[in-house]
Structure 1
Amino acid sequence: MTTIYHNPKCSTSRNTLAMIRNTGEEPAIILYLEAPPTKAQLQELLAKMQISPRGLLRTKADPYVSLGLREDKFTDNQLIDYMVEHPILIERPVVVTSKGAVLCRPAERVLEILPNPQKGEFRKENGDLVVDSNGKCITPKV
């Protein structure tokens, strides 16, 4: 079962959800701003993703600046506590599947852990082609 920690106001999150659905699967959707993860759940997600709390910290959210989180004086435990208290500080979307967990920024990162292949063409909301009509991922040109 695939789970997405989702914010429907975020285009990256919407694109990630659409790519999951393009496999034919309907994921479990956790609206993490309405139902934030507990400290234990957040610690488990970080362990699965193999990233530090700072790697999951959303720096564009208002509390980031007002709480002074830019400063490198906070422990991992303190950062997790802030994310639990202010879930807007959790970067999104996070997707968990049987193949692992990943912060899907950019949205195409979800393709690394989806257990099922894409069923056809997928374009992001902005029109960018990500998956061709054969379900093959298109590598962006550099």
Structure 2
Amino acid sequence: MKATIWHNPACGTSRKTLAILEETPGVELTVIEYLLNPPSAGKLAQLYRDAGITPQQGLRLRGTDAEERGLPQASDADVLAAMAAEGKLIERPLVETEKGVRLCRPQDQVNEIL
């Protein structure tokens, strides 16, 4: 099974999710450090749609200026554009497999798509 993780190595939850993926037999893993290579607004829209959440639910509030910028109340398009421009606004980690997408907080949620 192929799996892609949008990963931040400085995040404990992201590291734990990555470890689960690495320890799961048969997983062909792609790791994308999204702070260096943020996904496009279109890719983010697809990920959130497939995860069954809104872009606002995928917005990282802690350690960002998202609330001051009014992003939690902004339109989907505005939130996605802000995330694509500034990867730090993306809550992590996102994992995509052929079984779906999950925002893996807590990290055990990755098991739902393995």
Whether these two folds match at TM > 0.5 is yes
The residue aligned with 2:21 is 20
1:65 Cα shift? 3.7
Does the CA-based 8 Å contact 2:71-2:78 persist in structure 1?
Answer: no
How far did residue 69 of structure 1 move? 2.7
Kindly indicate whether residue 5 of structure 2 is the aligned counterpart of residue 4 of structure 1: yes
Report the equivalent of 1:48.
50
Q: Note the C-alpha offset of 1:27.
A: 1.0
Q: Which runs of 5+ in 1 are unaligned?
A: 115-142
Task: Flag as ranges the 4+ runs of structure 1 deviating above 3 A.
Answer: none
**Percentage of identical aligned residues:** 41
Q: Is the 8 A contact 1:13 1:92 kept in 2?
A: yes
Q: Which structure 2 residue ranges, 5 or more long, are not aligned? A: none
For CA contacts below 8 A with separation 6 or more, give which structure has more relative contact order.
Answer: 2
Residues 63, 86 of structure 1: 8 Å contact kept: no
Please state whether the residue corresponding to 1:8 is helix, strand or coil.
Answer: coil
- The one-letter amino acid paired with 1:53 is P
Tell me what 1:91 maps to: 91
**Within 2, Cα distance between the matches of 1:106 and 1:83?**
21
* Equivalenced residues, count: 112
Match of 2:35 among 16, 33, 36: 33
Higher-helix-fraction structure: 2
- Give the distance between the partners of 1:68 and 1:77, measured in 2 at CA: 13
State the distance in 1 between where 2:98 and 2:45 align: 18
Greater shift in the superposed pair: 21-30 or 53-62? 21-30
Q: How many Å apart are 1:85 and its aligned residue? A: 1.2
Question: CA-atom RMSD, angstroms?
Answer: 1.3
